[in-house]
Amino acid sequence: MSERTTYVSSDVAGPLQNLRQVKQVYSEVFTSIDGVEYVAYRNARNIRDSISYLQDCGFKELSLHARMGGGGSGLVDRAQVALIDATIIPTSIAIKEFSEDFEILFHAPELMKTSSLNALKHKNPRFIWAENDHYALEGIAFAKRTVERLSLMGVRCGLMLDIAHALGVKVLKSGQLNTAWDELNAFVRQQLIQPYKKGGMKILHGIHLPIGRKKTDSLPVVDPSLVSDSMLTDIHDWIVEGDLRRVVIENQLGLPAALLPSDMKLRRQYVQVIFNRLQNSNIIRT
């Protein structure tokens, strides 16, 4: 049985990378958090400075979130992803400078680029996470194939299932999650968990649980009428039955809210409400 850890994403720092907000937003639930998945926005020197700062804040463990590879559900989304990727450390440098010291997450399309595969051949990464992109169930299938490809190369790796990406933008915008959830639940159990329980390769290792207010990239956990207790039970069952070792809480505000001053008290209360639901469902520890 894997030891499960709970991370939070540094995405709460916003595009201006005010890392002080990571500790502020999660201050009321800090004892439930093991580490930070740091979005590696800057050059190698600044990344090391940011890691040191987060460690000084008391976060015991750090991993990196690197490039996404240009995925998205439409022209606007793809343009936004390309813009974000341009501000994130290049993949070749992430692998060369950091992969032996830190676990690194990439979206699967970025990992399947020839340049990424070549870079991985020359290093011995600690662990590479392949996250499914925005293409609903096909995005999970692509990430699964990515993990299988990397494993054949001898790379220690696993799939990070982003639940919002797995449902897809159209479903999240509509707020009608039930049918898509049933399909997702069946896919995860049949394609990822059952083969592993029967002695097959372990593909799925972790879950991205986006709880923020960016409607097209977040799961509305704060609203039980949209995300029911039974859905949270399904997530818990995936974690237990699949022997997953990490849950990462993301908390994006989206634009333009992410660039504007925010009420920190309200943001902490929002996080507390959601953490209470996740703890009651045994998805994260108290």
Q: Return the percentage of the chain with pLDDT > 70, whole number.
A: 94
**Residue 141 neighbours by CB under 8 Å, 6+ apart:** 191
CATH architecture of residue range(s) 5-280: Alpha-Beta Barrel (3.20)
pLDDT tens-digit profile of 213-234?
888 889 999 999 999 999 999 9
Q: For residues 1 and 152, which has the higher predicted lDDT (pLDDT)? A: 152
Domain segments of the chain as ranges: 5-280
Give the pLDDT score at 181: 98
- What would you measure as the largest C-alpha separation in the chain, in angstroms? 51
- Banded model confidence at residue 286, pLDDT cuts 50, 70, 90: confident
Number of residues written out for the chain: 286
Tokens of 114: 């020839």
Mean pLDDT of the chain: 92
Average pLDDT (1-18) is 87
pLDDT tens-digit profile of 134-155?
889 999 999 999 999 999 999 9
The neighbouring-strand residues paired with 248 are 7, 208
pLDDT at 79 over 80: no
Does residue 103 contact residue 63 with C-beta atoms inside 8 Å?
Answer: yes
Average pLDDT (257-272) is 80
Q: Which is it for the CA torsion 283, 284, 285, 286, positive or negative? A: negative
Give the pLDDT score at 216: 86
Does residue 235 contact residue 207 with C-beta atoms inside 8 Å?
Answer: yes
Which one-letter DSSP state was computed for residue 214?
-
Give the pLDDT score at 253: 76
Give the pLDDT score at 73: 60
- Banded model confidence at residue 42, pLDDT cuts 50, 70, 90: confident
pLDDT at 75 over 80: no
pLDDT at 259 over 60: no
